[in-house]
Chain A
Amino acid sequence: MTAPSEQIIIDPLQFLQVTNLKKSFLMGGGRNRTVVDVQCFNLCAGDQIAIFGNSGTGKSTFLNLLAGTLKPDSGSIMIGETDLTGLSESGRDRMRSQNLGYVFQSFHLLQGCTALENVLVAMAVAGIANEDKAKELLSLVGIPEKESSLPSQLSIGQQQRVCIARALANNPKLILADEPTGSLDPENASRSMELLKSLCDQNGCALIVVSHDPNIISCFEHSVKWEDLNKVGELGNES
C-alpha cells in the first residue's frame, strides 16, 4: 500500500495498481471539471486502508473508477494481471461480479427481495448462487434469523449487515466501501466496521473504505487523506 506522499515501491504482491488515473465531468458552460487525478495508488492482497477527506471531493468517483462502473479519461487500474481500463463494459461487469464487493452508505438493497435473496442475487450474477453459503454468510454477519425479512422489515444496522454479507458473497478479492457507516449511530458504526474488517481478514480480501468519520478512520492501521492522494483542489480543476 502506498500513499502518494511516500516513495512508490513496486511490491510483487501488489494486486491493485492505479497509475495516473484521471476523471473529469462536463460542467455547465462546456467546461470540464477534473475530480480525480491520482498518480499512484497500490494495494497488496488482503490490505485494508481508509481514505478520508471532505465530502464532494471525488472519493466516491474514485471508488466507482476502481469498480469499473465509471470509465476514466486516462490512466490504468491493474487488478492482478488485468488492466480494468482496457476492458469492454461487459468485461468490467464480469470483473466486478467475480472480484469486487461493494458496500454502500445507503446499503442499496433490492427492496423486493428478502435478505437471503439479496445475497443470492449477488452470487447469481457471478453464476455461483448457493443458498447454503448465502445462509452461512447471514449467520456470519449475525442475522441468521432475518433471512426471510425484506429490507423494509430490517433495522438500519441489520440492513448494513445484509449489505456486508452481499459484498462477501462472491469471495471477492477487494471490497470497496463508500461511507459504509454513514447511516449508522456511532455504536452500530464501529461494530459494523469491526465486522467488515474481521470478515475481510478471514476471507483474505483487501478493503478500501472511504469515510469522513474520524472514528472509522481510527479503526484502520493504514489511512490516507484523499487530498494527498488526489492532485486536484477541493473544488476540482476546471478547464
Chain B
Amino acid sequence: MNLNSKFGLVFFLARKGFRQHFFASLVAAFSIALAGGLLLSTMKIQKQTQTSFNNASGGFDAVLGARGSKLQLILNALFHLDASPGNLPWEQYELIKNTPGVKEAYPVAVGDNYLGYRLVGTDPQLFYDHEWKKGEKYKLRQGRIFSEMAKEALVGSFVAEKLNLKIGDRFQPYHGLNFKEDTQHEDVYVVVGLLEPTGTPSDKVIWIPIKGIQLMEGHDKEMAQSVSAVLLTLKGATGFNLEIRYNRQGNQATFAWPVAATLASFFDKMNWFRGVLQVIAYVIAAVGILMVASTMHSSLNQRKRDFAILRSLGSSRLIVTGVIVCHSLMISLLGVLGSFLIMLSIGSVTQTIIVEQTGVLLEGMNLQLEDLWVIAGIILTGLIGGLGAAVNAYRSELVDNLQPTS
C-alpha cells in the first residue's frame, strides 16, 4: 500500500479503524448483508422459480382433463402435485388424439404411490418420441423402457436415488397419492429402467404402463376405461380452437392452455408473500443504515482524538472525512459479500426444498447485470449510514479535541 498517495493513506487509516472497531463494524455489515441477501433472494427465487416451472412443464403445450380448475389440472398432470380433479373417459383421449393440429397426445393415469412417490401410468411411446425440452428426449441411465402390457416400471432419477431402486427390484404399489401402510396393492412391479435426471417433475415419478393403473387390483372398474389427463403438444393456432371447443362450448372437460399463462397466474397469487419478504428486507435495510450510523458515530467519538492528531500532523479535513467514508465503504462491501453468501445459502436451501417437493430444479442463483442496482443499493445504504459521521468529522475542529494544557 502506497501511503504517500492520499487514497493509500485514507485506506490505511480506514483499515485501522475497521480493525479497532471490528465487532461493531461486523455487526453493521451483517445487518446490511441480511437485508441485501433477503432482497436478492426474494427477487431471484421468485424469478427463477417461475422460469424453472415454465421450463419444467415437460415440453407440453396443454393438458386436457376433467372439468375443473386449469391450475389444478396442470399441477397434477405436469408437476405431479395436488390431487387429480377427476377422470376423463378414454374416448376423450381418442378424440383429441385424432384432432387435426394435435401433434402429440399422451394419456396419464394417477392414483397410486410407492412409499410416497407417485406412480404415473402412461404410453411408453412418450419416452421414445417426446422432447421434454427442445431437442431433448428422455435418456436411460440404465435398463429399458417398460412394455405396454407388462407390470414393469421406469423410475425417475430422484426416486431411484431416494429409494435406492435398482434394475430388477420388485415392489408393490400403495393405493392413493399419499403413502399409507395398510393400502398396499397385491400387484408386483419390476424395475426395468432408470431415467437420467431432467431437472423436471418427471424425476420424482415412477412410470408404469397406463394399463397398470387402470387395471390395478382393487381399483374401480370404471377406471379401466378412463384417464386422469391427456398431455398435449399442439401445432399452430390449434390451442385457440380447442380452448373454445372445450372451455366455452363444452362442459365435459377442461382444456388447460397455455401452460405458461396458467402458471403465471399461480405465481401472481403468491406475490403477496414476495411483498411481505420485501417489506421485511426493507425494514432490515433501515436497521442496517442505523447500525452503520451507530457504528460510525461511536467510532467517530472514539477516534475524534485520532483525527485531531492527524490534523495536527497536517492532514486536511478531507482526509479525515475520507477515512470515515472509506470505513463505511468497507462495511458496505463486506455487506455486499455477505449478501451474496446469504443469497446463495437461502437459494441452496430453497432449491433443495423445491426439488424435494416438486422435482423442479431451480436454475443457478448466479448474479446478473440486473442485480447491480441491488449491489449499488447495498453500498449506498452503508454510505448513507456513514454520512452523518463523515459530516461531523469534516466539521470537527482540531483544537476541540486536542485541548491546550496551559
Contacts and interface: CB of A to CB of B under 8 A. Distances in A.
Say whether A associates with B: yes
Interface of A: 53-61, 63-64, 67, 69-70, 89-90, 93-98, 100, 102, 104-106, 108-113, 117, 120-129, 166, 178-179, 182, 210, 212
Nearest to B303: A112
A113 B16 contact: yes
Given A110-B309, A112-B17, A125 B406 contact: no
Interface stretch (B57-65, B101-109, B343-351, B396-404): B396-404
B3 A124 contact: yes
A105 B406 CA distance: 10
B304 to A, nearest CB: 12
A97 B406 contact: no
Interface of B: 3-4, 8-9, 12-13, 16-17, 19-20, 305-306, 308-317, 319, 398-399, 402, 404-406
21 contacts: A56-B406, A69-B398, A69-B399, A69-B402, A96-B312, A98-B314, A105-B405, A108-B308, A108-B312, A109-B309, A112-B20, A121-B3, A121-B310, A121-B313, A122-B313, A123-B3, A124-B12, A127-B4, A129-B3, A166-B313, A182-B405
A196 to B, nearest CB: 17
Contacts of B316: 89-90, 93
A60 B313 contact: no
Contact of B9 (A53, A112, A121, A210): A121
B39 to A, nearest CB: 34
Interface centre among B399, B402, B406 (most CB of A within 10 A): B406
Contact of A125 (B16, B314, B405): B314
Contacts, number: 100
B16 A112 contact: yes
Contact of A57 (B313, B314, B406): B406
Contact of A112 (B4, B8, B306, B404): B306
Interface centre among A98, A106, A124 (most CB of B within 10 A): A124
A182 B315 CA distance: 26
B20 A60 contact: no
Given A69-B311, A93-B316, A121-B313, 11 more contacts: A89-B316, A93-B311, A93-B314, A97-B315, A100-B314, A108-B308, A125-B9, A125-B313, A125-B315, A178-B404, A179-B405
B216 to A, nearest CB: 76
A126 B306 contact: no
Contacts of A179: 405-406
Contacts of A104: 312, 402
Contacts of B319: 125
B69 to A, nearest CB: 65
A62 to B, nearest CB: 9
Contact of A97 (B305, B308, B314): B314
B313 A102 contact: yes
Contacts of B8: 124
